[in-house]
């Protein structure tokens, strides 16, 4: 059984703690084998946002945990407590897997765990993290980073993405997907933080892109081009590209390819259709084209993804990566 220590101490954010406890605290129905042994670790009577918590153990328990999770640090201009920094460093030196959620990355950086590593945090604080800790390779555009047993996530909802990734590593894609279904969240989100910075995706009924998205999704089996999308919105391809990048953080062609791969994943999970059939249903044309794009985006070939997703007795996580755009499975 994997032991998970959730750090609770003054100056941390309760949302990220709740996310982690929700994911690791209860096994989804039907999951075979042991789940996680979760413990809240920190000083007694800790102030956590508007709440007061009574931890089950002190920070001295962190080095004895298999996984240590540090929630968001409320005031990034304030140095985290020395005892917390020391305990997190000791846990890592003892071989624990250490993860930060949102601005919890500032605690990991203060402990020296991010030196020379790629890491992320909430986009609004990424520059501060990079300035204060220049040895950290801060990537402000990804949802989470897995770098050699040290994990960091972007803000708020990305904490859920990282927690599900950890479940995927431990139990495989099918179990992580079961957890996601219980929580009514996607098991894996495409893209990075750029799509959430300043300008959101247009709301339904807010032209022109909001009307374009459902039109495209209903025609993924067709060989759509950027010119087709521009014609639909009655604008030039250049203007369409600017709007797309502003709204989604990516290009029309990249967005379209991402939707095709996502549809392929759904069909691999829910049907027995051949790869050739799925290639036609997603507008990829041929099985070879689907395999090339799918493997590049997901990290494993379609057949491997299908076996991993459907496996219940041996849900091995397959290949893991350092980029959230290429996790193992689903």
What is the per-residue pLDDT for 150?
94
Name the least confident of 90-94, 221-225, 255-259, 326-330.
326-330
CA neighbor of 303 nearest in space, from 325, 322, 318, 321 = 318
193 DSSP 8-state letter: G
- Hey, what domains does the chain have and what are their CATH numbers? 3-155 (3.40.50.880), 199-309 (1.10.10.60)
What is the per-residue pLDDT for 116?
95
Burial of 272 (0-12, 13-18, 19+ CB in 10 A): exposed
Assign 238 a pLDDT band (cuts: 50, 70, 90): very high
Averaged confidence pLDDT in the chain: 83
What are the pLDDT digits (tens) for 42-95? 987 776 667 777 888 999 999 999 999 999 988 999 999 999 999 999 999 999
Rounded to the nearest 10°, the torsion over CA 26, 28, 33, 39 is -10
What is the per-residue pLDDT for 190?
57
Assign 280 a pLDDT band (cuts: 50, 70, 90): very high
**Residue, of 275 and 315, whose pLDDT is higher:** 275
**Peptide bond before residue 208 is cis, with ω within 30 degrees of 0:** yes
Cα atoms in the 13 Å half-sphere on the side-chain side of 292: 6
Q: Three-class SS of residue 258?
A: helix
pTM: 0.62
What are the pLDDT digits (tens) for 134-180? 999 998 878 888 888 899 999 888 999 899 989 988 888 778 888 88
What is the per-residue pLDDT for 330?
27
pLDDT of 103 strictly over 90: yes
pLDDT of 316 strictly over 90: no
* C-alpha gyration radius of the chain: 21
Give the β-pairing of 150-153 and 97-100.
Answer: parallel
């Amino acid at each position: 059984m994997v032991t998970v220590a959730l750090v609770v101490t003054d100056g941390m954010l309760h949302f990220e703690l709740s996310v982690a406890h929700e994911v690791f605290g209860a096994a989804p129905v039907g999951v075979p084998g042991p789940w996680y042994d979760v413990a809240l670790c920190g000083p007694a009577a800790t102030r956590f946002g508007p709440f007061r918590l009574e931890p089950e153990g002190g920070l001295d328990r962190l080095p004895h945990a298999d996984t240590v999770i540090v929630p968001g640090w409320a005031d990034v201009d304030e140095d985290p407590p020395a005892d917390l920094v020391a305990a997190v460093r000791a846990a890592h030196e003892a071989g624990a897997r250490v993860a930060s959620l949102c601005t919890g990355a500032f605690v990991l950086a203060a402990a020296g765990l991010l030196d020379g590593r790629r890491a992320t945090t909430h986009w609004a604080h990424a520059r501060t993290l990079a300035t204060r800790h220049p040895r950290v390779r801060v990537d402000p555009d990804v949802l989470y980073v897995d770098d050699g047993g040290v994990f960091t996530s972007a803000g708020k909802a990305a904490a859920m993405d990282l927690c599900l990734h950890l479940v995927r590593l431990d139990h495989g894609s099918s179990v992580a997907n079961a957890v996601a279904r219980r929580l009514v969240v996607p098991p894996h989100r495409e893209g990075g933080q750029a799509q959430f910075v300043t300008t959101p995706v247009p709301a339904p009924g807010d032209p022109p892109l909001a009307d374009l998205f459902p039109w495209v999704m209903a025609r993924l089996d067709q060989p759509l081009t950027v010119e087709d999308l521009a014609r639909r919105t009655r604008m030039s391809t250049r203007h369409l590209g600017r709007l797309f990048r502003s709204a989604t953080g990516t290009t029309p062609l990249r967005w379209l390819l991402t939707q095709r791969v996502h549809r392929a994943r759904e069909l691999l999970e829910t049907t027995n259709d051949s790869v050739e059939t799925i290639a036609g249903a997603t507008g990829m044309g041929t099985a070879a084209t689907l395999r090339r794009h799918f493997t590049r985006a997901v990290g494993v070939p379609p057949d491997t993804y299908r076996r991993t997703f459907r496996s219940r007795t041996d849900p091995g996580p397959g290949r893991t990566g350092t980029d959230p755009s290429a996790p193992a499975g689903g």
